[in-house]
Copies of this chain bind each other. A is one copy, B any other.
Amino acid sequence: MKIAIDAMGGDHAPEVVIQGVEQARDELSDVEFLLYGDENKIRPLLKNDSHMTIIHTTEKVNSDDEPVRAIRSKKQASMVLAAQAVKSGEADAMISLGSTGALLAAGLFIVGRIKGIDRPGLMPTLPTTDGAGFVMLDVGANAENRASQLVQYAIMGDFYARDLRGLKAPKVGLLNNGTEANKGNELHQETYKLLSELDGINFVGNVESDSILKHSADVVVTDGFTGNAVLKTIEGSARTILGLIKHAIMDNGMKAKLGGLLLKDGIKSVANTFDVSSYGGAVLLGLKAPVVKAHGGADAKAVYYTVKQVQQMVANGTVQKVVEYFQAHPAAKA
A: residues with CB less than 8 A from B are: 129, 140, 143-144, 175, 177, 183-186, 188, 208-214, 224-226, 228-230, 232-245, 248-249, 252, 255-256, 258-267, 269-270, 273-274
Contact = CB atoms under 8 A, between A and B. Distances in A.
Contacts of A234: 233, 237
A245 B245 contact: yes
For the residues of A in contact with B, the DSSP-based class is helix
B243 A129 contact: yes
A169 B209 CA distance: 32
Nearest to A251: B266
Contacts of A213: 236-237, 240
Contact of A252 (B209, B237, B238, B266): B266
A238 B236 contact: no
Contact of A258 (B140, B226, B229, B262): B262
A243 B238 CA distance: 12
A149 to B, nearest CB: 13
Given A177-B140, A225-B177, A274-B241, A236 B262 contact: no
Given A213-B237, A248-B265, A260-B263, 13 more contacts: A143-B177, A143-B185, A175-B229, A177-B224, A177-B228, A208-B232, A209-B230, A209-B233, A210-B235, A225-B226, A233-B233, A245-B245, A259-B264
